[in-house]
Each structure stands twice: as C-alpha cells, then as structure tokens.
Amino acid sequence: MTRGPERLVLLGHPLGHSLSPRFQNAALAAAKIPLRYEAMDVDPAAFEDVVRALRAQRAAGNVTIPFKERMRDACDALTPLARRVGAVNTFWIEDDDCLVGDNTDVGGFDAAVLGLLDERPRDLVIGVLGAGGAAAAVLAAVETWPGCSAHVFNRTPERARLLCERFSSVAQPVDDVGVIAGAQLVVNATSIGLHDDGYPLDPRLIAPGVPVVDLVYRPGETAWVRAVRARGHRACDGLPMLVEQGALAFERWFGVAADRRVMWESLST
C-alpha cells in the first residue's frame, strides 16, 4: 500500500461503548497524520451499501461486532491470517482499488496474554468459552504457541465442533464447562459481560492460580475480571487486546509504528 487512506472509520453495531476513536485519534495526532478516526454505527441492513461508499472514499478502518464475517466476504483479498480466522477486523484499499482484509485481533490477543503471563505461553492447556470470531482469533494464536492446545465450550455444541474442526491440530470441543474451569489459562471469548455484570463462568470453579483473560472490556473492567482477581487470579479484560490490535491496524494503514504510549495515555484522561 503506497497511498494512505483518505478516511478512517470503525464499523459496528452498536458502538456506544467503543474506545477505539479515543486512542486512534491520539496516535494520529502523535504521528502528525491529518485524519480523524470516526465510529460509524451501521444498520445491519445497510452494511454492504456502506462498504461500497467507503471504497469510493478510499477509506480504511476497523470492523467489530457483528460485521467481521460480512467484511471478510466483502473484501477482494484477504491476508493469510484473516483467511485462517475467517473474520476481518482491519481493512484498507490498495493502489489498484483492491479492498484488503486482515485480522489484527490475533496479534492483539497474543500481546495481551504475553503481558499477563510475562512470558510466551508454552505447554499449556487453554480453556476457551465461545465459538465465534473472537474464539477463532484465540485459536489462531494458540496454534503459534509451542506445545499448547485448547478445549472449547459453547452453549451451542455444534458451533464448538465446527470451530474445532478448523483448528483440529490444537483444539477439541468439550461439553462440560468444568473442563474449561480446569484449564491452565481460561479465556472468555463470548460477549457475556459486555452489557451487564454477567459471568461467563462461575469464578469459584476456576482452579486456583489459573490466569484469566476476558476479551470483553468495560469501563472499570468487567465484573468477571474483578471477581476472579478478588479470588487471587491474575486477570485482564479485553483492553490490552483492543489497544494492541488497534496499534497493529495503524501500522497496516500507514506503514509506520503506532505510539502505544500515547494510545494508552489517551485512555487515562
């Protein structure tokens, strides 16, 4: 990509909770790039029309729930990682007007776990709650961790089975949530806790000392993260993953490093 984007957007529905504009605009200002990153709450019925309009404007941006799979289908080309995950959260227009989709959620999750554990995961069994696009990003990261494997639980067992078929070298479905609770790293890849204080898994079931990652983020952290931390677990919500995937997306759009310090500082003001 030699020409930079002429517009930057986040596509999703709903978007009232998103922090992405705050830290992306801080990164743009730090890099002296004269653009603004804007959130677009898109009516699902209008998604394809919106994408066509953004193509004409040479826009780039991010995609969040519920459009990651639809953006995958709308793209002319996918990076190998986006194809592997089956979802697009980052897009841009190449000079030949090709709409390209990538997935920076994988790198964001990998960085969040590294920050939580202070080391690269190795020889761990990961318990994954959920079987959607976020869970696929988790499994794509697990594939790169030496000696690691995953158990996947979903309220709809068929979805867990289909996801694990795609990642059969490292993942297998389970029908007992207790298996997840007994893993060596527990990950919530569902949306439970996004709009309320619901728990995806009873904190009392998680084995002592097991680290926990919640891909959901809310102001002041999710209730589940607070609860598991109160029981002595190392835990983080989805904010580290969000910021890192945003920094990686910034680097795809502009070919320069994002100022992560400035991005984090923007969230503390």
Catalytic residues: 68
The first and second tokens of residue 136, run together, are 């696929």
> Which among 100, 137, 125, 122 has a CA at the least distance from the CA of 215?
137
CB-based contacts of 227, cutoff 8 Å, min separation 6: 199, 203
CA distance 109 to 126: 13
CA distance 12 to 156: 24
Beta bridge partners of 99: 93
> Which among 149, 143, 13, 135 has a CA at the least distance from the CA of 86?
135
Give just the sign of the alpha carbon dihedral 26, 27, 33, 38. Answer: negative
CB-based contacts of 96, cutoff 8 Å, min separation 6: none
> Which among 54, 62, 97 has a CA at the least distance from the CA of 82?
62
Side chain identity, residue 139 = L
Distance of CA 83 to the CA centre of its chain: 15
CA distance 175 to 163: 14
Identify the three-state secondary structure at position 173: strand
The first and second tokens of residue 52, run together, are 């066509």
